[in-house]
Structure formats: structure tokens, C-alpha cells
Amino acid sequence: MTKKRILWIDDEIELLKPHVILLEQRGYEVLTTTNGADALEIIKNNKIDLVFLDEMMIGMSGLETLSRIREIDKKLPVVMATKNEAESLMEEAIGQKINDYLTKPINPTQVLIVCKKFLEAERIGKEKFTKNYISDFAKISEKLYQPIIWKDWKEIYTKLVNWSLEIDKLDDDGLKETLSGKWQECNVGFSKFVENNYLKWLTHKDNDRNDANPIMSPHILDEYLQPVLKKQDKHVYFFVIDCLRFDQWLVMAELLEPYYNLKTELYCSILPTATPYARNSIFAGLYPIDIKKYYPQFWNVDSASEDHKLNAYEKDLLLAWVKRKNFNFDRVAFIKVFDTEFGKKIEREFARYMNNNLTAIVINAVDMMAHSRSDHAILKEIAPDEAAYRALTKSWFAYSSLFGIFKSIAEQKDAKVIITTDHGAIRCLRGIKVLGDKETSTNLRYKFGKNVNSEAKGALRMTDPTLYKIPKSGITVSNLIAKEDYYFVYPTDYHYYLNKFRDSFQHGGISLEEMIIPIVELDPK
């Protein structure tokens, strides 16, 4: 293993010889110099991992040397040693990006702590994470063979997501491989759990939701929006970001934390985990079967329309919910952002919405990102795996009109923001043959149509869709929903489509990533 290399710059370096010897005994390579000019040459010609820099030196001062070091390497950790703790000096040093400082006379313990902080933190963090990971890994394996309720699955999923985010930072292929296997094992267990419990969840009364019975898509408005609107002391903003997974939300949340206090919870999307069903259900506050029953004019999912037209009545469904709850609002807005230019326009003009009682905004960018990845090779190259997909999400959000809108709202102290999604998405890796006629739905994760058939191992068969709160359509005889990371492929040109959609992000089926999704309350700081 290559030794970490330290450069110590001090015009009285001989007095620091005991510290240098101590560091060498601890396995570090230490280079020394008595002036800034020589130090700059050493940094130019050697890989240096950490610099100790004296603040008061003859000739080039410590601050001047620091400034010149930053011209060569902006990221090199520099620790300043000083007798002078004057506030003005420290402000100038901090302004020039000093990483830490030591007060003279220097204590050996201080030196070792600084070295561990800048040179050993990654190794120590990795060792600690690996120890905790192995312990929790075993606990989850044990739990999968015991009776599990909804609350347990939320906890398991949260652990899996947090592990994934930590391993992104560690970049350890061995840990990634073991975690990938655990994801697959958990999705097998979760799919069985959903098959055994989903119908029970649908029969529970609204006031009977608990650790075993999740909040679901039609409950979101009643549980989160209604209590805030009743108080009538906030301007309420309700965002639905289509196809947003929990891990994607967490990387976005990092950018919002300076502006908001965040409270994140998890709820369960209805089946199928697809926009025409789940998002209509959110805005109506009803299951799909009840939307068709009470508002048939707003239900066109049975038709052969293009996908985006299947959600043409979300505003009408939301206004119908507002009316059912007896809210007498005169300022309600509903916005759908489908493309970048329109998003920028809304951002520029957002002040016009800031006096509304309720503003609902649908964002389609994340869903478009997921689908575009399977259609455009360059996107798959940019985001070849889940870690890169998260990074792409964070990069998009940082420069998006959506982030700009959130920053504008954060300046409005009587604002309340609620963010959710209709469903997540899973990275599909296993194709499974399906049979169906030309009227069958086109989604790769669910097939509704006449005489639809597939292998039992990869799909849930709905013999009676009304039991799942899904209305029967005129032609529907059988409905299939894919489980785990399977996706449906027709026999015609089977291998072409098998390869085309392998390793694509899809939704509509049963998996942790699609069904367990975030609902977030934000209050401006």
C-alpha cells in the first residue's frame, strides 16, 4: 500500500523533528522545507496528500504560500500552524480555503488527529460501515424468514437505500455485488408479501391505517393536504414528481436542506404502479374503480389514447376533491411541466402563483429521464448503473427550473410545501414472454387485455380486477402485473426487444422501488 505523503513547511523545522519522527513511525512519508518557494516546487513535482503550513515565516508568509498552493491544487488539504488566533487572520485563512489549523506549541495528539481526519477518514469510515453493514445484512436475512408487516418493509427498504448511497461513496465492487444480491432477495420476499396482503389493505377503512396497513395513493390528499388547507394560514404548494424513487429524492433533498426543514415519510403506491392509475388516484382521492363510478367523464384509461392523455383530467379530479371537502377557495392553480422551456417560463413567472390558496404542480422530467435512458444510448452511457442514475438526477435537479421554484417558495415564510410521486421505477434485468392481442396495454410491467398470458413465476395474475379497485374494461379478461425485476416481451422479435429493454428503468409492477415511495413536508427555514 502506498504511503501517504505529508509536506511540512516551517522556517523552524528542526524544532519540529520529534513530530516528523512520530509521523514516520506511524507509516507516513514526511517531506520538509523551511520556506514557501521551495514548498511550491515540491508540490508541483510530487503527489502530496497533506500540508502542514506555518503561518509566520521569513520571506513568503504562510497566507501568501497558501494562496500560491491554491493556484496549483485547489483540493489539497492544508493545515495552518499559528501562534496568532486573531479573528482577522483566521477569516483571511478561511477565505483562502484553509482546511484546519493547529495552535502552537503543537501537541503530538493534535497532529495525529489531523492526519487521521484528512488521510485515514475514508479507510476508517469504510471499516466502520462494513462492520455495521455485515451486522445489519444478517439481521435482514433473518427477518425475511419471520412474519413481516408493512412497517418492517419500510425499514428494510430504507436500509437498502441508505446502504446504496453509502456504497456509492466507497466505490467498493465487492460490497456492490453483495448488496445487489440482497436487493434481489428482498424484492422476491416483498413481491410475495404484496401478493398475500394487498387485497387486505384495500378493504381496511380509512381510519384503520397502522403499521400493518399503509397509506396508499388515494389517501394522500386527505392525510397530508387536507389538514394544512383546513388551517387556512399557509399558501400550500403540492408537487407530484412523476416516477421519483426514494433514493432519487434523498439526493435531491441534500440540495433543499439549506432552504427547508424536511420531514420525509414513505407510503405505498397502488397497483399498477403506473401514472394513469396511481396519479389519477392521488388527485381524485379515490381508487380507480371509484373514479370511474363517481366521475365517469374524467376516466378514460380504458381507451386506446396516448399515455399523456390518460391523465388529462387531473385538474378536474383535484377540483372535485376540493369541492367534496367543502373548501371555498377562489385561488387554486394546476400546472403540468412537460418540457424545459415551459418549466423556465413557470419559474420566471412564479410570483403570480404565490398568493394562491393551493397550487398543484406536476413535474414529468424524472419520468422522461427514465424512459429516455432506454431510447438513447448516450443516456445509458452517462448513467450505466443505479449510482450514476442517482448522480444524473441530482445534476438535473441542481440546474432545473424546479429547484429555482423551490428556492423562490423558500423566501415565503407562510408557505407549506408537500412533495410526493405517483410511483417509482425498477431497473429491469429479466425478460419474460407474454402473449396478448393488439388491444393489450403496451406497458412493459403490466398487461391488461384479452387472453393475456405469461409464466407464473414473474407475474401476478388479477383474475378479477375489481378486487384490486380497478374497473373492468369491455375487453379485459385477464390482467398481469410483473414482479421483482421482470419485464414482459412478446414472442415476435423476442430477442430484439429482450435486449432493447434489458437494463432499462420501468414502472407498473411490484417491487420495493416502485411501490414504497416518498411523501415529504417542507417548511421554509
Answer for the pair 237, 409: CB distance below 8 angstroms, yes or no.
Answer: yes
Mean pLDDT of 396-411: 97
Q: 344 and 364 in contact (C-beta within 8 Å)?
A: no
Cβ atoms of 380 and 502 closer than 8 Å: no
What pLDDT is stored for residue 476 in this prediction? 54
Which tens digits make up the pLDDT trace of 478-501? 789 999 999 999 988 999 999 999
Which of 85, 223, 215, 97 is CA-nearest to residue 150?
A: 215
CA nearest 357: which of 234, 225, 246, 469? 234
Confidence of residue 410 (pLDDT cuts 50, 70, 90): very high
3-class DSSP assignment, residue 162: helix
* Per-residue burial over 165-202, b = 16 or more CB atoms within 10 Å of its CB, e = otherwise: ebbbeeeeeebbebbeebbeebbebbbebbeebbeebb
Angstrom distance (rounded) from CA 57 to CA 53: 9
In this model, does residue 35 exceed pLDDT 80?
Answer: yes
What are the cell numbers at 34?
Answer: 523551511
Q: In Å, what is the CA distance from 441 to each residue of 65, 89, 488? A: 67, 68, 11
Among the residue ranges 206-210, 339-343, 478-482, the one predicted with the least confidence is 206-210
Question: Count of alpha carbons within 13 Å of 24, Cβ hemisphere only?
Answer: 11
Which of 218-227, 307-316, 362-371 shows the lowest per-residue confidence on average (mean pLDDT)? 307-316
- The yes-or-no verdict on residue 400 having pLDDT over 70 is yes
Burial of 269 (0-12, 13-18, 19+ CB in 10 A): buried
Selection from 436, 432, 435, 497 nearest residue 458 by Cα: 432
Determine the pLDDT at residue 275. 92
Q: What is the pLDDT of residue 57?
A: 85
Which helix (H) or strand (E) covers residue 132, if one does?
helix 121-143
Structure confidence at residue 173 (pLDDT): 82
pLDDT grade, residue 305 (50/70/90)? very low
Tell me the β-bridge partners of 420: 240, 519
Confidence at residue 206, expressed as pLDDT on a 0 to 100 scale: 61
What pLDDT score does 475 carry? 57
Q: Which amino acid is at 149?
A: I
Q: Is pLDDT above 50 for 133?
A: yes
Residue 513 has pLDDT above 70, yes or no: yes
Q: Are 204 and 468 in contact (CB under 8 A)?
A: no
Written as nine digits, the cell of 175 is: 460490497
Cα atoms in the Cβ-side hemisphere of radius 13 Å centred on 419 = 26
* pLDDT reported for residue 306: 45
Domains and CATH numbers, the chain: 5-106 (3.40.50.2300), 123-197 (no CATH), 215-426+514-524 (3.40.720.10), 430-502 (no CATH)
- What mean pLDDT value characterizes the chain? 90
> What is the pTM assigned to this prediction?
0.84
Q: How confident is the model at residue 207 (pLDDT cuts 50, 70, 90)?
A: low
Say what the pLDDT of residue 199 is: 95
Residue 98 is predicted with a pLDDT of 82
Task: Name the residue with higher pLDDT: 75 or 210.
Answer: 75
C-alpha cell read off for 508: 407498473
Backbone φ and ψ of 215, nearest 5°? -70, 135
* C-alpha cell belonging to residue 449: 387485455
* Cα separation values, 356 from 322, 326, 334, 407, 415, Å: 14, 17, 11, 17, 10
Give residue-wise pLDDT tens across range 423-477: 999 999 999 999 887 777 888 999 988 888 888 789 999 888 999 999 987 655 6
Helices (H), 58-120: 62-72, 87-95, 108-115
Contacts of 77-82 with CB under 8 Å at 24 or more apart are 77/49, 77/50, 77/51, 77/118, 78/51, 78/53, 79/50, 79/51, 79/52, 79/53, 79/114, 79/118, 80/53, 80/54, 80/55, 81/10, 81/52, 81/53, 81/54, 81/55, 81/106, 82/54, 82/55, 82/56
**pLDDT tens string 56-74:** 888 888 888 988 998 999 8
For residues 281 and 287, the answer to whether their CB atoms sit within 8 Å is yes
Residue 279 in this model has a pLDDT that exceeds 80: yes
The pLDDT of residue 7: 95
Mean pLDDT of 175-182: 89
CB 79 within 8 A of CB 72: no
- The per-residue pLDDT for 156 is 96
Average pLDDT over residues 270-281: 96
What value does the mean pLDDT take over residues 134-157? Answer: 91
Q: For residue 89, is pLDDT > 70?
A: no
What is residue 158's predicted lDDT score, i.e. its pLDDT?
Answer: 97
pLDDT in tens, 163-178: 999 988 887 788 888 8
3-state per-residue secondary structure call for 22-72? HHHHCCCEEEEECCHHHHHHHHHHCCCCEEEEECCCCCCCHHHHHHHHHHH
Q: Is the pLDDT assigned to residue 147 strictly greater than 80?
A: yes
pLDDT, residue 389, reads 94
